[in-house]
């Protein structure tokens, strides 16, 4: 049954799907990032969520950012034309990241830095992979970055060890039941924060 406003008969914000942008952070040749993201998308497919994949391998952003008050280059404008409105429209984010040298990919940091208001007052969840730590060191550093951008990172994350042990060639975790449970737990937190913050932004626009 649809939830409606008793006075107007219009659908309320609570009844609208939660729009989640899934950012695939690795652009390395031979990466497993897109395969891991596809596993997550299949696991996360449920009523009430609208999933939008932003694959950074398809976003050709320059490394040179404009100076304060400057304008982006035509190349940057063209690259941002598609993705920036999608981030702005998202209610929440899931970042899929490997761990490179105890941190996250430069491509992901560059993409994050090209945006600011799009992240504000929205929740961020993580799916990490790689090595014995399952990418957790990359996630811990990303939490610091998103805190600076006024985003809220949810406590629980999904960590896939491998690729040589915990992830199959198809990018799916070998311990599928445990990892699917972790994904559902993270999504539960992300959904709660996503709906709560969406309501707050609508009633009281964030001015941080």
Tell me: pLDDT of 3 over 90: no
Q: Which residues pair with 53 in a beta bridge?
A: 22
Tokens of 205: 């626009």
pLDDT at 10: 54
Q: pLDDT tens digits for 23-33?
A: 999 999 999 89
135: closest CA among 50, 67, 36? Answer: 36
pLDDT category at 9 given cuts 50, 70, 90 is low
Per CATH, which fold does 17-57+74-202 belong to?
A: Rossmann fold (3.40.50)
Rg of the chain, C-alpha, whole Å: 18
Q: pLDDT tens digits for 148-207?
A: 999 999 999 999 886 555 677 776 787 888 889 999 999 999 999 999 999 999 999 998
pLDDT at 73: 93
94: closest CA among 126, 63, 52, 71? Answer: 126
Tell me: pLDDT of 144 over 50: yes
pLDDT at 176: 82
Question: When comparing pLDDT for 129 and 167, which is higher?
Answer: 129
Q: pLDDT tens digits for 58-103?
A: 999 999 999 988 999 999 999 999 999 999 999 999 999 999 999 9
pLDDT at 4: 44
Tokens of 95: 């970042």
SS (H, E, C) the chain: CCCECCCCCCECHHHCCEEEEEEECCCCCCCCHHHHHHHHHHHHCCCCEEEEEEEHHHCCCCCCCCCCCCCCCHHHHHHHHHHHHHHHHCCEEEEEEECECCECCHHHHHHHHCCCHHHCCCEEEEEEECECCCCHHHHHHHHHHHHHCCCEECCCCEEECECCCCECCCCCECCHHHHHHHHHHHHHHHHHHHHHHHHHHHHCCCCC
């Amino acid at each position: 049954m649809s939830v409606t406003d008793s006075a107007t008969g219009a659908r309320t914000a609570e009844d609208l799907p939660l729009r989640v942008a899934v950012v695939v952070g690795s652009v390395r040749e031979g990466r497993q990032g897109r395969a891991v993201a596809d596993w997550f998308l299949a696991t996360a497919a449920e009523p009430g969520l609208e999933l939008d994949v932003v694959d950074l391998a398809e976003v050709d952003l320059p490394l040179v950012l404009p100076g304060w008050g400057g304008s982006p280059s035509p190349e940057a404008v063209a690259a941002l034309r598609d993705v920036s409105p999608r981030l702005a429209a998202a209610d929440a984010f899931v970042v899929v990241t490997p761990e490179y040298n105890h941190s996250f990919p430069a491509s992901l940091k560059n993409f994050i830095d090209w945006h600011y208001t799009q992240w504000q007052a929205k929740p961020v969840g993580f799916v990490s992979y790689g090595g014995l730590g399952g990418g957790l060191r990359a996630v811990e550093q990303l939490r610091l970055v998103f805190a600076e951008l006024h985003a809220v990172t949810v406590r629980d994350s999904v960590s896939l060890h491998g690729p040589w042990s915990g992830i199959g060639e198809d990018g799916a975790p070998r311990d599928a039941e445990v990892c699917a449970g972790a994904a559902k737990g993270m999504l539960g937190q992300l959904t709660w924060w996503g709906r709560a913050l969406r309501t707050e932004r609508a009633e009281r626009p964030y001015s941080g």
